[in-house]
Amino acid sequence: MVESIYLDHAATTPPRREVVERMAELAWRYPANPESVHTPGQAARSELERSRDTFARAFGVPPQGVIFTACGSEANGLAILGTALARELRGHLVSLTIEHHSVLHHLELARRLGMEVTLVEVGPSGVAETERVLAAVREDTVLVSVMAVNNELGTIQPIGEIYAALRERGVTFHCDAVQAVAHPGFDLRDFPADLITIACHKFYGPKGVGVLIRKGEVPLMGVVRGGAHEFDLRAGTHNLPAIGGGAMALEMLLAERRDYAQRIREMRDRFEEMVLAAEVGAVVNGDPQRRAEGISNLSFPGLSSETLVLRLDLEGVACSAGSACTSGSLEVSHVLRAIGVGDERARSAVRFSFGLTNTMEDVEWAAERVVRVVRTLRQGIRVG
Amino acid sequence: MGAGSNRRVVVAMSGGVDSSVAALLLVRQGYEVIGMTADLLGRTTGGRCCSLIATGDAKRVCERLGIRHYTVNLREPFSRMVIESFVDYYRRGLTPNPCIACNRFVKFDLMLRIARDLGAELLATGHYARTVEREGRLYLARGADRSKDQSYFLACITPKQLGRLIFPVGELTKGEVRGIAEEEGLVTARKPESQDICFLEDYRSRREFIRERLGAGANGRGLIVDYRGRVLGEHEGIEHFTIGQRSIGVSAGERVYVYRIDPESRTVYVGPRFLLPVRQIRLRELNEITPGSLQPGEVYQVQARYRQRPVPGRLVLDGGQPLIELEEPLEAVAPGQWAVLYREELVLGGGEIASTTLEAEFEEELVKASP
C-alpha cells in the first residue's frame, strides 16, 4: 500500500512525538489513582493539578474552571445536559443547525427530556448571523450554544458579538471551540464564552481527553456520576497520562500558534488555488473570507463524495466527507444540507484539512492527485 | 503472479464466509483486491448481514489478508429499489424476489459502478456460480456445489456485467470453502449461513413487516373463494398471500392452496393441490445473459423458484412477448418471481414472471366463478 498524505487533521491530528513520550513517562511514573489518600495517590494528584493549571492559565480561569472529560463530545454533553439538569429541565435552548452532532444530539436528548430547543438556520456562507441568533433568545432561554469554527467548512462564527449581547441579557453562552484552539484570531485568555469545549486530539495531543472550561459560577450539574471527581461535575478515574499529554500539546501549540497558523494557511490556500485553477468543476463551500486556516471544503458537482474519498485514498490522499455513520459508511453532510447549497453540492463535497504533518510539497502533490482523480471520474461518467 | 497479475478487483463482502474466502482466493491469484461492504440497512446491532459486527468481520478479514476495505452507503437505493418494491409487489398481489432485485439494481449495477470509479474493472462476489467459456463466448454456469448453487438469483446479469464479474468460490463446495477459511484462521470461518431475506430478520414474519409498511387492512380487504366459487371467508389484504401458500387463515374443510390472486377484485382463490401445476409462463421481458444463446422454438430447462427441480419448457414469442410452454408442469409458479432458463449447467437467461396459465385451465377442471 502507498504512503498516504494525511489531509484529515480536522478529524484528528497525530500526537506529537514529545507528547507520546511524555504520556508513557506519566503512565509509568504516576500509576496511582489521583483520588487515593496514600502517598502514590498524592503524587498523581499533584501531577494532575499541574496539568490543570496549564489549561487554567491558558484560558485565564481558576483551576476549578477546568473540568476534564473523556472527549469533546462528552464536554459538549456536559455543557448542554449539565445546564439542563441544573435548571431542572425547564427552559429553552438555542443553537445552530450546523453544529457538530455531539451538540445537536445532546440538544435532542434535552428536548426529549422536556426542554424546548430552537435551532437557528445558517445560509450558504456557513456563518451564522448574530441578529438571527439573538432573535431566537427568549425570556426562558437558559443556554445558547454556538461553535467557534465549523468543523466541516472551517467558517468562523460571530461568537464575540453573540457573547457580548448575551452577557447583557444574562444568558449563559456555551461554545464548542474544538476546531478553534489553533486559530490565532481567538484569544484563549479572553475567550468569549461562559462554557468552552476543547479536545486535545485536535491540536496534536492524545485522544481520550476533552475539557470543559467553565467561567465563574455558571449553573452546571454533573452527568457522569459516581464520585466527587472534577468538582463533583464529572465522576471517573482520571486519564492522567492523556491529560498530561494534552496539557503539553496545548503549551507547545500556544508557543508557536501564530507561525503555525500562517504555515497552515499558506498550504491550504496553495492547495485550493491549484485545484480551482485546474478547472475541474470544483467549488468552495463556506465563505472563503471568514474561514479558519485549516480547512478546505470543496464540492465537485456531478461526482459523489464517497467515491471521491475512496478513490483518493487509493491514490494516497487521506481526506473525508460528511460524517461517518455507525457502520463506517458516509452520510451526506448535515452541515451542507443545512446551509442550503443544494443536493448536488452536498453529495459531492470533500473536506481537506491541513496540519503539522504536511509540507508544501505534499500539499502540491495532493492537489495534483485530486485534479487527476476528478478528471478520471468525470471521464468515467461520460463513457459509462 | 497468477491470473490476477496485479489487476484491481473489488470483492463485495457481506461479512460471511463465502465472500471472505472469495477475497482470499483472489489475493492468492495475484489480484490487487479491495474489500467492500455495502451498508444496506444502517444496522447497528446483531451479527447479521451488513450490521456493524458483520462490517467489522469483513474489515478484520481484509486486515488479515493485507488488503483495503471500504464500507459504502447504499441505504437509500436499497430502500427504494429493493424494500419499497418488495412491499409494492405484495400490495399488487405479486410475489417479489428481493435477492434478484438486490443483485440487479444494487450489486451488479451500483457496486459495479463504484468498482469502476475505484479503477477496478472487475467485481467479485461470494456467490456459488461460475463463468465459463464455450467456443469463445462467456457463459454463466451453475455453481459446482449443486446443493449451494445460487445461479437462479443471477439470471438478471446482463452480458456487459458478466464480463466484469468473477465468482471465486463457484468451483468449490461449501465444505471446501469453510475448510480454506479455517486453515487461514479467518474470523468468519464458522459463521452460520444466512437464510432469510436480510431486511426481514428483525421481524417475526413477512406478514408483520408488510403490515407495518402498508398499514393493517389499508390495501383493502377481500374474499377467499374456493375453486368451485364458494366463499370461504374474508382476508385482510392480498399482500399477505403468495401462490402455493397453504395457511390462509380460514377453514376450508380440506387441505387447500392459493392458486390465484386477483388484484382487481382483491380475491384470493384456493383449491386442492391438483390445481397448482402451471403449463404456461408469460415473462415481462427476457434477459439474455450470453447474446444469441436463447432461440425461440428451442427447449430449455426451466426453474421458477430457487431450489426447484427444473423441467423442460419451450421458449416461444407470442406477439413479441416471451412465453414458456412447459413440457412438464411446474407447481406453484408465482408472478413476480423469475423463470430462469438453463441448458445443462449453463444459465442462459430469464425474466420476471408476468402471468401463468394453470394446467387445470386447459383441462377445464376449473370453474371460473366470480364471487
Q: How confident is the model at residue A235 (pLDDT cuts 50, 70, 90)?
A: very high
User: What residues of A are in the B interface, CB distance below 8 Å?
Assistant: 1, 306-307, 310-311, 313-314, 325-331, 376-377, 380, 384
Q: Is A327 within 8 Å of B42 when comparing Cβ atoms?
A: yes
User: What residues of B are in the A interface, CB distance below 8 Å?
Assistant: 34, 37, 39, 42-44, 50-52, 55, 59, 68, 70-73, 75, 113-114, 116-119
Exposed/middle/buried for residue B344 (C-beta within 10 Å: 0-12, 13-18, 19+):
exposed
Question: How distant is the Cα of A383 from the closest Cα of chain B, in angstroms?
Answer: 11
Cell numbers at B44, concatenated:
447497528
Q: How confident is the model at residue A384 (pLDDT cuts 50, 70, 90)?
A: very low
Work out the percent of chain B whose per-residue pLDDT is above 90.
Answer: 76
Q: Determine the residue type at A280.
A: V
Report the SS3 class of residue B176.
helix
The answer to whether position B133 is within a domain reads no
Which value does ipTM take for this structure?
Answer: 0.84
Work out the percent of chain A whose per-residue pLDDT is above 70.
Answer: 97
Quick one: pLDDT at residue A383?
A: 47
The answer to whether position B83 is within a domain reads yes
Give the CATH number for residue B250. Answer: 2.30.30
∠ CA A125-A320-B35 to the nearest 5 degrees?
150
Same domain (yes/no): B46, B99: yes
Q: Give mean pLDDT, residues A82-100.
A: 97
Distance separating alpha carbons of residues A287 and B283, to the nearest angstrom: 56
Q: Is B114 within 8 Å of A310 when comparing Cβ atoms?
A: yes
Q: Give mean pLDDT, residues B254-274.
A: 93
* Total Cβ atoms within 10 A of residue B151: 25
Distance separating alpha carbons of residues A329 and A282, to the nearest angstrom: 23
The domain boundary residue, chosen from B231, B256, B273:
B273
Distance separating alpha carbons of residues A368 and B165, to the nearest angstrom: 32
User: What total number of domains does chain B contain?
Assistant: 3
Q: Determine the residue type at B280.
A: Q
Same domain (yes/no): B300, B354: yes
Q: Give mean pLDDT, residues A317-333.
A: 80
The answer to whether position B152 is within a domain reads no
Exposed/middle/buried for residue A58 (C-beta within 10 Å: 0-12, 13-18, 19+):
buried
Query: Is the pLDDT assigned to residue A249 strictly greater than 50?
Result: yes
Give the CATH number for residue B92. Answer: 3.40.50.620
Report the SS3 class of residue A237.
coil
Q: What are phi and psi of B137, to 5 degrees?
A: -115, 150
Quick one: pLDDT at residue B368?
A: 52
Same domain (yes/no): B47, B174: yes
**Pairing assessment for the beta strands B8-12 and A323-324 based on DSSP bridges:** unpaired
Quick one: pLDDT at residue B190?
A: 84
Chain B residue numbers with beta carbons less than 8 Å from the beta carbon of A329 are: 39, 71-73, 75
Distance separating alpha carbons of residues A264 and A279, to the nearest angstrom: 24
Same domain (yes/no): B253, B346: no
Least confident segment among A321-325, B171-175, B336-340: A321-325
Report the SS3 class of residue B270.
strand
Question: How distant is the Cα of A330 from the closest Cα of chain B, in angstroms?
Answer: 6
Same domain (yes/no): B185, B226: no
| Whether A383 contacts B117, CB under 8 Å | no
| pLDDT tens sequence across B297-306 | 999 999 999 9
Chain A residue numbers with beta carbons less than 8 Å from the beta carbon of B43 are: 327
The domain boundary residue, chosen from B252, B273, B294:
B273
Q: How confident is the model at residue A82 (pLDDT cuts 50, 70, 90)?
A: very high
The answer to whether position B213 is within a domain reads no
The answer to whether position B17 is within a domain reads yes
Quick one: pLDDT at residue A326?
A: 60
Residues near B371 by beta carbon (within 8 Å), at least 6 away in sequence: B223, B225, B229, B231, B265, B267
Same domain (yes/no): B309, B264: no
Least confident segment among A42-46, A138-142, A209-213, A224-228: A224-228
**Pairing assessment for the beta strands B338-343 and B346-358 based on DSSP bridges:** antiparallel
The answer to whether position B236 is within a domain reads yes
Same domain (yes/no): B26, B104: yes
The answer to whether position B228 is within a domain reads yes
Query: Which of A310, A326, A329 is closest, CB to CB, to B118?
Result: A310
Which residue, among A186, A120, A201, has the nearest Cα to A148 in the 3D structure? Answer: A186
| Nearest-Cα residue of chain A relative to residue B117 | A377
Same domain (yes/no): B73, B185: yes
List, in order of start, the domains of chain A with CATH numbers: 5-13+257-383 (3.90.1150.10), 17-255 (3.40.640.10)
Quick one: pLDDT at residue A3?
A: 80
Q: Give mean pLDDT, residues B345-363.
A: 91
Q: pLDDT higher for B41 or B85? A: B85
**Pairing assessment for the beta strands B257-262 and A66-69 based on DSSP bridges:** unpaired
Same domain (yes/no): B94, B26: yes
B241 lies in which domain range?
A: 220-273
Q: What is the mean pLDDT of chain B?
A: 91
Query: Is the pLDDT assigned to residue B121 strictly greater than 80?
Result: yes
Question: How distant is the Cα of B52 from the closest Cα of chain A, in angstroms?
Answer: 5
| Whether B328 contacts B253, CB under 8 Å | no
Least confident segment among A332-346, B38-52, B143-157: B38-52
pTM of the model: 0.89
Q: Give mean pLDDT, residues A73-82.
A: 98
Quick one: pLDDT at residue B370?
A: 40
Same domain (yes/no): B67, B186: yes
Q: Determine the residue type at B230.
A: R
Q: Give mean pLDDT, residues A247-274.
A: 97
Query: Is the pLDDT assigned to residue A7 strictly greater than 50?
Result: yes
Same domain (yes/no): B62, B189: yes
The domain boundary residue, chosen from B231, B252, B273:
B273
| pLDDT tens sequence across A275-292 | 999 999 999 999 999 999
**Number of inter-chain CB pairs under 8 A, A vs B:** 55
Quick one: pLDDT at residue B366?
A: 59
Same domain (yes/no): B191, B261: no
Give the CATH number for residue B324. Answer: 2.40.30.10
| pLDDT tens sequence across B198-238 | 888 888 888 999 999 998 888 889 999 998 889 999 999 99
* Catalytic residue IDs of B: 102, 198
| Whether B16 contacts B48, CB under 8 Å | no
The answer to whether position B266 is within a domain reads yes
